[in-house]
Amino acid sequence: MNKAVVIFSGGQDSTTCLVQALTQFDEVHAITYDYGQRHRQEIEIAQTLAKKLGVKAHKVMDVTLLNELAVSSLTRDDIPVSHELGENGLPNSFVPGRNILFLTLAGIYAYQVGAKTLITGVCETDFSGYPDCRDEFVKSMNSSLALGMDYKLEIKTPLMWLNKAETWAMADHYQALELVRDESLTCYNGIVGSGCGDCPACVLRANGLQDYLDDKTKVMEDYLSKV
């Protein structure tokens, strides 16, 4: 049986990846992480969407140790999300080590359920400057996991080279634009759908949707040319 594990936060990107995976694999597992994040509603949203979409299993993992180690506006309520970059050149929403931990644990889970594909919605085109969303990093993690477990695991990143408008086109291609627009949670302030409209995640999401709606045909063609 062709199985996949999707790292699933309940946000726009991972929901779009999950929708696609359900059309491509016989059995899809979703894994969500509770790391004491600022927008904790995402865990409930992920549970609701996983059930609605009909995944084989949805595992919520307690990794709150990450919250103790990684200081970020996403792990501390008293640090407001900033639009400015810090002295290190990164936004203060960067959680150091997050995707290292997430991919490692998801890889172990994939091993246990016999899935040879691990899917994550990271993106190098429209990302927030996070170093653990880059293609080079994912390839390095893929190599380490495969070597460390002696297991032919492939990490797939369907959104890696898509901009946000093309990610909306992808959701529309799989007849899930309304679902992603209205029921996913991307907002750093925990507001479902269009969100607060002010945080960096909401601005990026809204601009991408508008770009797609302004020229659906061209953006869809651009998306299809990349897949």
Helix, strand, coil share of the chain (percent; to 5):
45, 10, 40
> Would you say residue 125 has pLDDT above 60?
yes
| Mean pLDDT of the 61-85 span | 63
133 marked as part of a ligand binding site: no
Tell me the C-alpha distance between 144 and 13, whole Å.
24
8 annotated ligand-binding residue: yes
Is 225 flagged in the annotation as binding? no
Domains of the chain are: 3-225 (3.40.50.620)
| pLDDT reported for residue 83 | 55
Annotated binding residue 15: yes
Q: Is 199 annotated as a binding residue?
A: yes
pLDDT category at 68 given cuts 50, 70, 90 is: low
Check residue 84 and give its pLDDT: 53
For the segment 68-73, the average pLDDT, to the nearest whole number, is 59
Q: Determine if residue 16 is labeled as part of a ligand binding site.
A: yes
Q: How confident is the model at residue 176 (pLDDT cuts 50, 70, 90)?
A: very high
Question: Who has greater pLDDT, 113 or 87?
Answer: 113
User: Does 185 have pLDDT greater than 80?
Assistant: yes
Q: How many angstroms from the chain centroid is the CA of residue 23?
A: 18
102 assigned ligand-binding residue: no
* Residue 10 assigned ligand-binding role: yes
Does residue 202 have a known ligand-binding role? yes
DSSP, collapsed to helix, strand or coil, labels residue 68 as helix
pLDDT at 73: 56
- Check the annotation: does 12 bind a ligand: yes
Alpha-carbon dihedral angle through residues 203, 204, 209, 212, given to the nearest 10 degrees: 140
Binned at pLDDT 50, 70 and 90, residue 79 comes out as low
Please report, for residues 8, 152, 169, the alpha-carbon distance to residue 55 in angstroms, rounded to integers and kept in the order given.
11, 23, 22
Q: Is 123 annotated as a binding residue?
A: no
The answer to which of 48-57, 79-88, 152-161 has the lowest mean pLDDT is 79-88
Q: Is 132 annotated as a binding residue?
A: no
- pLDDT for the residue 220: 98
Residue with tokens 């869809």: 220
d(CA 155, CA 162): 17
Arithmetic mean of pLDDT, 149-172: 97
Confidence of residue 38 (pLDDT cuts 50, 70, 90): low
* pLDDT at residue 128, as a whole number: 61
Answer yes or no: is 196 a known binding residue: yes
pLDDT (0 to 100) of residue 219: 98
Q: Is 33 helix (H, G, I), strand (E, B) or coil?
A: strand
pLDDT mean over 134-144: 96
